[in-house]
Amino acid sequence: MSSIARTSIRTQQFTESVIREMTRVARATGAVNLSQGLPDFSAPEAVKEAAVRAIREDYNQYAITWGTPNLRNAISGHYKRWYEMDVDPEKNIVVCCGATECMIATLMAICNPGDEVIIFEPFYENYGPDSWLSGATPHIVTLAPSPTASGGVTWAFDPDELRKAFNPKTKAIIVNTPHNPTGHVFTQAEMSLIAELCVHHNVLAVTDEIYEFIIYDNRQHIPIATLPGMADRTITISGLSKTFSVTGWRLGYCVAPPDITNAIRKVHDFLTVGAPHPLQEAGAAALNMGRDYFAGLRSEYDHKRLFLLDVLKRAGFAPTDPEGAYYIMADFSALRRTPNEDDVTFGMRLIKEVGVATVPGSSFFWDRSRGSNFVRFAYCKRDETLQAAAEKLLKGKG
């Protein structure tokens, strides 16, 4: 037998997703699943109808690889309407299979071996593997719980740590706002510093704005591409999964300068050829929905956020109040059974003894010990699901 490993070195650099593992255990034990970020409620009726219609009208073959004209026109109109961005459907857009494919196709399109990509930690777990698969090395900058002027807590970075992270090898910085898992919405000052550093060091910004419409307390989402000097050095990534509760449709899009758009289109063509054609037609209808829809989504999630925050506080957690997205990072230190109980042990105990599934905080950290006091709750769930979780979490608390 040859001793040559049958799997590539690149796949040995990361492990399987912990989030999907928690979902599997939750299913097996019948726990209320607040782990993975997928809604358990229906997608909007009008969006579903548009998909059914598109299938009936026979949009059933390969579409233009970088996106159907209808969807690219809708994306262009959408960016103009919401952010005053000028996006040419012919030159600036690539439609992919979810923001997930957008991110890896982008990194493969811009990175060379030896490049560094700055990633804020904690992070959405795909960014590390995406960087490695594209030949680049992640360079971590820490977000830590920090006091706000109004007496709350937010997850912020140290500006000096960020300044030091930029070096001659830096190719790009990934900016995910609203942020998963912390719920942080990057402030104007934070974004301006990131933009200034990108311009100064000739670095690209790759954004993940998948939660752009789930944002609270009158905050505004600011695409970094709209900041001075950034339009020509930003790849803006978003998609339909979260805004329209269709995570299974796999529709995302990149908005980028023409040269980078062309490079992403090439990678995308050979990775997946294209996103599902009939769903792209329905995606155009979704993006063209009126402002009422987006306002309704925001207020629905705001209500769920406030409900779960209150439950978690009463149950003995120290949760961070999210500014956007639909997750709560909660410090469980006060609930430890033993002084050394870590997040994975606590998370498993919560599934098996209480009947509620979360994601252990360490899965979002490079240095896993930094996440060992936290679990992440997802509240993109029906009110009945959140109520069932509340009953379990508050059992015996009076």
Ligand X SMILES: Cc1ncc(COP(=O)(O)O)c(C=O)c1O
**Rounded to whole angstroms, how far apart are CA atoms 155 and 184?**
6
Among 98, 128, 138, 276, binds ligand X (CB under 6 A): 98
**Rounded to whole angstroms, how far apart are CA atoms 235 and 260?**
8
**Rounded to whole angstroms, how far apart are CA atoms 340 and 338?**
5
> Most distant CA pair in the chain: distance in Å?
65
208 touching ligand X, by CB under 6 A: yes
Q: Encode burial over 227-261: b for 16+ CB neighbours within 10 A, e otherwise.
A: beebbebbbbbbbbbbbbbbbebbbbbbbbbeebb
Give the nearest distance from C-beta 314 to ligand X in angstroms: 27
- Using CB under 6 A, which of the segments 81-89, 95-103, 279-287, 312-320 binds ligand X? 95-103
- Using CB under 6 A, which of the segments 72-80, 96-104, 130-138, 267-275 binds ligand X? 96-104
Q: How far apart, in Å, are the Cα atoms of 80 and each of 72, 86, 87, 340, 366? A: 12, 6, 7, 52, 37
Closest CB to ligand X among residues 235, 390: 235
- For residue 205 the two structure tokens come to 């910004």
Enumerate residues 243-302 that contact ligand X by CB under 6 A: 247, 252
100 touching ligand X, by CB under 6 A: yes
**Rounded to whole angstroms, how far apart are CA atoms 267 and 258?**
14
176 touching ligand X, by CB under 6 A: yes
Give the nearest distance from C-beta 351 to ligand X in angstroms: 20
Among 54, 75, 99, 286, binds ligand X (CB under 6 A): 99
105 touching ligand X, by CB under 6 A: no
* Nearest of 378, 377, 361, 380 to residue 143 by alpha carbon: 361
Number of residues that bind ligand X (CB under 6 A): 13
Give the nearest distance from C-beta 263 to ligand X in angstroms: 20
- Residue 143 sits at the vertex; the CA angle it makes with 138 and 148, to the nearest 5 degrees, is 160
Give the nearest distance from C-beta 180 to ligand X in angstroms: 4
Give the nearest distance from C-beta 98 to ligand X in angstroms: 3
Give the nearest distance from C-beta 113 to ligand X in angstroms: 25
107 touching ligand X, by CB under 6 A: no
Q: How far apart, in Å, are the Cα atoms of 211 and each of 49, 156, 192, 218, 298? A: 24, 18, 20, 15, 10
Among 26, 31, 32, 37, binds ligand X (CB under 6 A): 37
**Rounded to whole angstroms, how far apart are CA atoms 236 and 125?**
19
Please compute, for residue 151, the number of CA atoms within 13 A of its CA located in the half-sphere on the CB side: 0
- Using CB under 6 A, which of the segments 58-66, 94-102, 312-320, 366-374 binds ligand X? 94-102
Closest CB to ligand X among residues 96, 315: 96
Helix (H) or strand (E) holding 389: helix 383-394
Among 241, 245, 280, 385, binds ligand X (CB under 6 A): 241
Closest CB to ligand X among residues 41, 395: 41
358 touching ligand X, by CB under 6 A: no
**Rounded to whole angstroms, how far apart are CA atoms 256 and 106?**
10
Q: Which residues bind ligand X (CB under 6 A)?
A: 37, 98-100, 124, 176, 180, 208, 210, 239, 241, 247, 252
